Structure 1
Amino acid sequence: MAEFAVAHARGPASSVVLAPGSTPAAPRFAECGNRPRAVVYDIDETVLLNTGANYDSAVRGDPPFDSARWARWEQGGAAKVEAVPGVVAAIAAIRAAGLTVVFNSNRDRSAAVPTAAALASVGIAGAVPGETLYLKGDVAPGSAKDPRRAAIDARYCVIAMAGDNLGDFADAFNDRALTPSARRTLAQSPTLDALWGNGWFLIPNALYGAWEGAGVDDLFPVDKRWSPEP
């Protein structure tokens, strides 16, 4: 991602944030114009590994997600995180090219200060709430990221985004009416082929995510199943 962002730091470009009213099935993107360029990162398991919280979950037998416990982690876990390998150098290179790095996370806005501290603890300083750090509740209620993406893209021209969940690119991917296979089909639409690895950068998260509620039939295509003979 860093190489892509640095290569596109200058010259004509368009945003990679879906324009208002467009969808992954029929995407539209606005030209950058004179807006300063930016790169948007999700935080959890994209920039920061929540090592302390994952340890806590492991020793407790991997129980269901506990929002109250996670809130305590957001407030008090700044010193127990690690950087995703390579991300510190990548962000440094992106900033050195004159691009702004903005973080768009579903951590709660009440945890803005400890979230910035967690980033700084791994060598990524300078996340400013409301400017380069956008959290749940900052722009609109709830966990939808489209309103925050729109607010960021109004201030900057976003030329690249990275995340560990399809919802880090468009809320349409999180439509609860879509089955996991339907989401996969939408993400693999020919209209989006040119974006993956070319403005949209998806980092697999094996720890948690929307896939947790999927069954065997959702996750494993029939023609890709294998089992040895007895």
Structure 2
Amino acid sequence: MKASSIAAAVALSLLAGAASAEPTTRSISQVNGVYWTQFSLEHHAAAAMAYQAATAALPGLIRSKAWASLERGEASRKRPAVVLDVDETVLDNSAYDAWAVQTNQSFAPKSWAAWLALEEALAVPGAVAFTQQAARLGADVFYVTNRECTPEPTDPCPALTHTQNNLRKLGFPRANDPAAFMLRKQRPEWNSSDKSARRETIARTHHIVMLVGDDMGDFLPVDSVARLRKGEPDAAAQALLANFGKNLFMIPNPSYGSWEKALPADPAARIPLLKGPDSWAGKTEP
């Protein structure tokens, strides 16, 4: 049996082995986001709309000298680059999220590694066509992801191997080129979930003309995102926000993200934080 087949068999046993239980408060709180991603026409339309808008904008951006990222250099004489996140941006992992809800599990490195080994994530609507068009226009596509390199005896980075295989099956460009991928811990200086250092590496050799992601961390340094969520954006972050829909494109992800860090862990404790109308106490009579 091939190593990839063995890995897939182990992954299936790990994922199938989790016992079901009565739904927890957390599981119930995740249902709508996962269901919306998997079944709603609106998710498909929103993702496709973002990628079609990005496709339309790309030719002009390639000809310009404007930078999509805060990490930049001299634009002239550099190849254009389109930088994309992977999870929930080009690959749809809602099947893993559905498994977690149905088995009352939370994200865990072991089960996540098992899911990656299956190499069965679907493409986010519009992602394949967009990246293929970017390649045809002469832009180098980079996949910057916080999937983590955890070495094994037979593979220095199984997450890279599985990600490449998954993208190759779906027809994404540069899937065969390890240089197109930048994973967390792939290099010592990429140990953080902050993607700034990886964007800086790309900016040394390429002109970053577009960023695509599902989380603010795909566009800004982690500390800038934290200040932004507190309502205290720095000048660079504030300026960058004006570029969404121009050279920055956000893919909707209602299931998880850095936005959760600003919320109580207990979903029930989030209810009082919701903002209702100040002038209305909930009276139903005229």
TM-score range, shorter chain: 0.7 to 0.9
Cα distance in 2 between the residues matched to 1:217 and 1:53:
26
The within-5 A match list for 1:70-109 is: 70-74=112-116, 76-78=117-119, 80-109=120-149
Q: Does 2:102 match 1:55?
A: no
Matched residue of 2:217: which SS?
helix
Q: Deviations over 1:93-143 (max 9, x none)?
A: 111111111110011232111101111122214225552111111242232
1:8 to 61, 82, 95: 61
Q: Does 2:251 match 1:203?
A: yes
Matched residue of 2:239: which SS?
coil
Q: Does 2:80 match 1:37?
A: yes
Matched residue of 1:117: which SS?
helix
Equivalent residue, structure 1, for 2:111: 69
Matched residue of 2:222: which SS?
helix
Equivalent residue, structure 1, for 2:198: 148
Cα distance in 1 between the residues matched to 2:137 and 2:201:
23
Q: Which moved further from structure 2: 207-216 or 87-96?
A: 207-216
CA contact (8 A) 1:37 1:159 kept: yes
Equivalent residue, structure 2, for 1:172: 222
Q: Does 2:260 match 1:212?
A: yes
TM-score if structure 1 supplies the norm length?
Answer: 0.80
Matched residue of 1:15: which SS?
coil
Q: Does 2:202 match 1:160?
A: no
Q: Deviations over 1:124-179 (max 9, x none)?
A: 14225552111111242232211111111112111000111111112235666x48
CA contact (8 A) 1:15 1:157 kept: yes
Matched residue of 1:9: which SS?
helix
Query: Whose radius of gyration is greater, 1 or 2?
Result: 2
Q: Does 2:165 match 1:117?
A: yes
Unaligned runs of 5+ in 1: 20-28
Give the total of aligned pairs: 215
Matched residue of 1:32: which SS?
coil
For 2:103, give the aligned amino acid.
Answer: R
Equivalent residue, structure 1, for 2:5: none
Q: Deviations over 1:46-79 (max 9, x none)?
A: 0000143123112113x332122112222x121x
Equivalent residue, structure 2, for 1:23: none
The structure with the largest helix share of the pair is 2
Measure how far apart 1:92 and its partner are.
1.4
CA contact (8 A) 2:67 2:209 kept: yes
TM-score if structure 2 supplies the norm length?
Answer: 0.66
Relative to structure 1, is the Cα distance of residues 228 and 90 closer, same or farther in structure 2, using a 3 angstrom cutoff?
A: farther
Relative to structure 1, is the Cα distance of residues 54 and 41 closer, same or farther in structure 2, using a 3 angstrom cutoff?
A: same
Matched residue of 1:69: which SS?
helix
Matched residue of 1:162: which SS?
strand
2:180 to 116, 129, 132: 132
Equivalent residue, structure 1, for 2:231: 182
Unaligned runs of 5+ in 2: 1-53, 150-156, 265-269
Relative to structure 1, is the Cα distance of residues 162 and 219 closer, same or farther in structure 2, using a 3 angstrom cutoff?
A: farther
CA contact (8 A) 2:224 2:234 kept: no
Matched residue of 2:132: which SS?
helix
